[in-house]
Amino acid sequence: MIQPTTPKQRKQLDHDLAILVKFVDIYCRRKHTTRQRQPFEFGLCDIKEIYGRELRLCPSCKKLLCHAITKRTHCPMDPKPACKHCPEHCYHPKYRQQIRKVMAYSGRHLVLTGRLDYLLHLLF
Ligand SMILES: [Zn+2]
């Protein structure tokens, strides 16, 4: 894992990862109710510390979140632009499409339930 060099970068990274986790969590819990979901664990970061609780995902959402976390953790841009404004689209096209669907769905859900705080620093 590339360690952020300043506390500010560290905070920004944790913040971004928490949003990613939150959005994939909402999407998977609401859309993949018939799939078997397993506790999500990932070597690059401590999900429980970032998210504050255990996360369970289906296999395809797990793969997507792993990809997203890896990309965000290794982002070489400093300061990091919002992904949609970035000149380098680093996501694999398959995951890029998937994460956009997740962001759109969960973003709408958060708006409808009045939890706008998550949308202030949208990644996508
Ligand atoms: Zn899922």
Domain annotation covers residue 115? yes
Number of domains in the chain: 1
Q: How far is the CA of 31 from the centre of ligand 1 (A)?
A: 7
Domain annotation covers residue 81? yes
Rounded to the nearest integer, the mean pLDDT of the chain is 85
Q: How far is the CA of 61 from the centre of ligand 1 (A)?
A: 4
Kindly list the distances between the CA atom of residue 96 and the CA atoms of 16, 17, 33, 80, 92, in Å, as whole numbers in the listed order.
Answer: 16, 16, 23, 18, 6
pLDDT tens-digit readout, 64-110: 999 999 999 888 887 777 777 787 778 899 999 999 999 999 988 98
pLDDT tens-digit readout, 16-46: 899 899 999 999 999 999 999 999 988 877 8
User: What integer pLDDT is reported at residue 115 of this predicted model?
Assistant: 72
Q: What percentage of the chain carries pLDDT values higher than 90?
A: 44
Q: How far is the CA of 80 from the centre of ligand 1 (A)?
A: 28
Domain annotation covers residue 2? no
Domain annotation covers residue 78? yes
Q: How far is the CA of 99 from the centre of ligand 1 (A)?
A: 11
Q: How far is the CA of 5 from the centre of ligand 1 (A)?
A: 33
